[in-house]
Amino acid sequence: MLFTPGLALILCLVHATTAVSDDKPPPKPCTIHSPSTGSFIDLRSLTLSTDGNNIQAATNESYHAKGYDYPYNFTLNFCDSVVERLEDVVGIRESRWTNVSAYYTDRYDNVISIGQQNNELLFRGKKLLLNYTMGSPCPDLDEDGYPIQTHHATPREIVDGGDDDDRKKSKAATRRKTTMMSFTCDTSPLLSTRPAISFLGTPDHCTYIFEVRSRHACGGTTASHESGTLGPGGVFLVISGIALLVYLIGGVVYQRNVMHQRGWRQLPNYALWAGLFGFISDMFIILFSSCIQSMPSVQRLFGGRGRGGYHRVGADDYRNGNGNARGRGRDAEAENRLIDSYDEEWDN
């Protein structure tokens, strides 16, 4: 196998490109690239806060979703905790009350968490998902699969109790409530700022499934303030640059080792590029000359004379004294006639 310097350069470029791709920085919170389309999805604009952002105004109220046939309504936020200030969340330590991202209030006014804050999006197939985990403990179910009703008279007893608390922990389910949200692209003008949230159900009263329709889930190119991500134009330029580099390196290797060319003739299709360069140079000279001739002021700057850069042949010679030649010609004719007249008189 022939190992040339050009081939070594190509291998180095491939290795460098692979190393750069391996060092790809992790995505920003609440953003992701679609593995199927490569589009960039940014859901940070859906996050509500008391300070507001470039899309959502400052607010003291989170998103709401109706339970319909489920006896409770839900309050939630995206990629951040809810805006409301919560207290006495069932089964959650006080230090984590500010991290609740979705909850509902039962008939006894107990706050039931259905998930803690999470800002990592994921794709399952072509579905964009956001999961909240580690909510309040899942309830015990009766024989028909319905939760056993408890009034939760002391919401902190699950985490702050004494000996009775240890006994109840051994009997309680170890599972905790979770939330799964599936995002769907919807470009409806009605959803320009706030998404449409639909509660789909809970099969075991422990996992709560929602569908979120929003234009921000459609994906697109990287936002103008983002860096480190290429849009369609950048991808096209990178591919074009790599193709041009391979063309040049491969052509130089072929011309040098097979055709035994040296100097500029090592470039692939040297005659074509040389002719193209000559054509462009000639056109530039023609256009430049035309522009100079059409501008008398510039023409005089470069030493042009006459109207439009033209002058009569011989006119300047006559003005510069060369017209004396014509005068001297006339004097010679007069002298010849005078000599002829003298000759005639001499003959007579």
Q: pLDDT tens digits, residue range 48-69?
A: 888 876 667 778 889 999 988 8
Residue 100: what pLDDT? Answer: 94
Residue 291: what pLDDT? Answer: 80
Residue 36: what pLDDT? Answer: 83
Burial of 62 (0-12, 13-18, 19+ CB in 10 A): buried
Integer Cα distance of 323 and 311 in angstroms: 16
Closest by alpha carbon to 248, among 229, 270, 280?
270
Integer Cα distance of 329 and 332 in angstroms: 5
- Asked whether 104 and 72 are in contact (CB, 8 A), the reply is yes
Integer Cα distance of 223 and 213 in angstroms: 21
Closest by alpha carbon to 81, among 27, 118, 112?
118
**Residues whose CB falls within 8 Å of the CB of residue 17, separated by 6 or more in sequence, listed in order:** none
The pTM assigned to this predicted structure is 0.55
The structure tokens 């699969």 sit at 145
Integer Cα distance of 257 and 259 in angstroms: 6
Residue type, 192: S
What is the Cα Rg of the chain in Å? 44
Residue type, 185: C
**Residues whose CB falls within 8 Å of the CB of residue 179, separated by 6 or more in sequence, listed in order:** 76, 101, 102, 114, 115, 131, 132, 133, 135, 207, 208, 209, 210
3-state helix, strand, coil in the chain (%, to 5): 40, 15, 45
Integer Cα distance of 329 and 222 in angstroms: 87
φ, ψ of residue 111 in degrees (nearest 5):
-85, 115
Structural domain boundaries of the chain?
31-147+173-217, 245-284
Q: Which residues of the chain have pLDDT under 50?
A: 1-3, 19-22, 153-159, 161-163, 166-167, 169-173, 224-225, 306-310, 312-313, 315, 318
The yes/no answer on whether domain 31-147+173-217 falls in CATH 2.70.130.10 is: yes
From the CB of residue 242, how many other CB atoms can be counted at a distance below 10 Å? Answer: 13
Residue 155: what pLDDT? Answer: 44
From the CB of residue 248, how many other CB atoms can be counted at a distance below 10 Å? Answer: 14
Residue 89: what pLDDT? Answer: 93
Give the relative orientation of helices 232-257 and 5-22 as an angle to the nearest 10 degrees: 160
